[in-house]
Structure 1
């Protein structure tokens, strides 16, 4: 009898699938909502995994409630997402600082209007909103010398592969910048999340290896002598990344000139 029960339990555990993003997303939706069931296979798998349970309300309706095990999964997912965002933001900050050191003005998290090409030359293009991780221009008063550049930062391989399947997203970046670069971070073992030849040739590739950024492939440069008025307005309304003007900073403890 005990052997039969053990075999039955093992069979039940084997039927529980590995959790995916779809499972954790549904788990969050159930936690945030009143718990009304969808009665689909995703819900069945969450029930089988013991992450949600069915409850009967006083009115006689069946609702779903996230169990303690489900709460633990949500907390673990949240911690992982925060770690990924932290790694991403740190690399965005680093790339923006490198642009500043190169004499450029850098913005992070802009929403810019870009034009996508039509299916053929006779068809007009359509507009979309692009959100490059880092957008920079040269610090110059001559418009023809601005040389806008887009940097897209990736710290997870899944995000990189998903991005590479979106040619229209790259087309939007190429419309905004004379150069478009992919910056590839490293995983927990220090391995780069992608190879340069995985990135389309119209984009350059920067790799973060052993905590150092180096050029794996230069980005083709497209001459842009005039920025669209809408782009100028977006830049004027946004705040560029603050830089440190060391020439105008007094050293701590250094005596200041007496006031007259």
Structure 2
């Protein structure tokens, strides 16, 4: 079995097991997954002088694992570029922005209660001295349909975002889903790739996120106090404080506070 550019992505269970075997030749587990990998020629069993059997990746297994890692890295880079573009857009609108901020939120009884830890790709608040004008917003970025569908199956995560922010929006690569596939309580922003696919040309807000009146919970204040916001870009100042511009207009939403 050889690896080519046309090879489909490895099934995730296969990729996880190949990575596990690569990190350290392990003892056979004798399960169905191992049978599949052996039959596909991606791993092989070796017996040492003491008659101990261990598993090792074959050349074909290494090639496919490397291709899988390259694909994952490309997706990660595209995700990071898009998240950074969203963050800079928020920042240019006069908001204070954090990336991958770890936040703790309570869950409702219908989801089992307790607490959930979440890390929104972009979290921002208005740069204001009036607490009621903060309007915290969480943005979740998705560039692959599989990742988006997996996220939509996690109502606890979405509930946590809604408990921590006045608005929550999905920023998705154009074409991976229709807006009506996403929950009505979340906004939808389409990210259109550049012509050469090397970056993102523009962000298109297609559904505004419903806004809920709220104040930041105390644990969120503490998390913000411990975290470092995204450093401001060098260049012209934002419109914050400009009497010509409305500093209370949200980016990508086109609406002021309600």
TM-score by length of 1: 0.82
Indicate the residue corresponding to 1:151 in structure 2: 139
In 2, the alpha carbon distance for the partners of 1:36 and 1:119 equals 43
In 1, the alpha carbon distance for the partners of 2:12 and 2:82 equals 24
Q: Report if aligned partners of 2:125, 2:134 keep a CA contact under 8 Å in 1.
A: yes
In 2, the alpha carbon distance for the partners of 1:247 and 1:162 equals 40
| Change in CA separation of 1:109 and 1:241 when aligned onto 2, cut-off 3 Å | same
Which residue of 51, 55, 61 maps to 1:70?
A: 61
Give RMSD over aligned pairs.
1.8
Equivalent residue of 2:159, what SS?
Answer: helix
Q: Does 1:35 find its partner at 2:18? A: no
Q: Does 1:218 find its partner at 2:201? A: no
In 2, the alpha carbon distance for the partners of 1:26 and 1:113 equals 32
Q: Does 1:129 find its partner at 2:117? A: yes
In 2, the alpha carbon distance for the partners of 1:156 and 1:180 equals 19
Q: Does 1:237 find its partner at 2:226? A: yes
Higher helix share: 1
Equivalent residue runs for 1:80-99 within 5 Å: 80-99=71-90
Q: Does 1:46 find its partner at 2:74? A: no
| Change in CA separation of 1:98 and 1:18 when aligned onto 2, cut-off 3 Å | closer
Post-superposition, which runs of at least 4 consecutive aligned residues in structure 1 deviate over 3 A? Answer: none
In 2, the alpha carbon distance for the partners of 1:97 and 1:18 equals 32
In 1, the alpha carbon distance for the partners of 2:9 and 2:235 equals 53
Indicate the residue corresponding to 2:70 in structure 1: 79
Unaligned runs of 5+ in 2: 1-7, 194-200, 238-258
Pick 1 or 2: higher relative contact order, CA cutoff 8 A, min separation 6.
2
Q: Deviations over 1:147-201 (max 9, x none)?
A: 0000000000000000111111100000010000000014xxxxx2111000010
| Change in CA separation of 1:247 and 1:217 when aligned onto 2, cut-off 3 Å | closer
Indicate the residue corresponding to 2:11 in structure 1: 20
In 2, the alpha carbon distance for the partners of 1:45 and 1:91 equals 37
In 2, the alpha carbon distance for the partners of 1:155 and 1:23 equals 22
Equivalent residue of 2:74, what SS?
Answer: helix
The alpha carbon displacement at 1:247 in A equals 5.1
> Based on CA coordinates, which of the two structures has the bigger radius of gyration?
1
Figure out how many residues of one structure are paired with residues of the other and give that number.
223
Indicate the residue corresponding to 1:100 in structure 2: 91
The alpha carbon displacement at 1:34 in A equals 3.0
Q: Deviations over 1:16-53 (max 9, x none)?
A: x9941111110111111232111111111111111111
Q: Does 1:201 find its partner at 2:184? A: yes
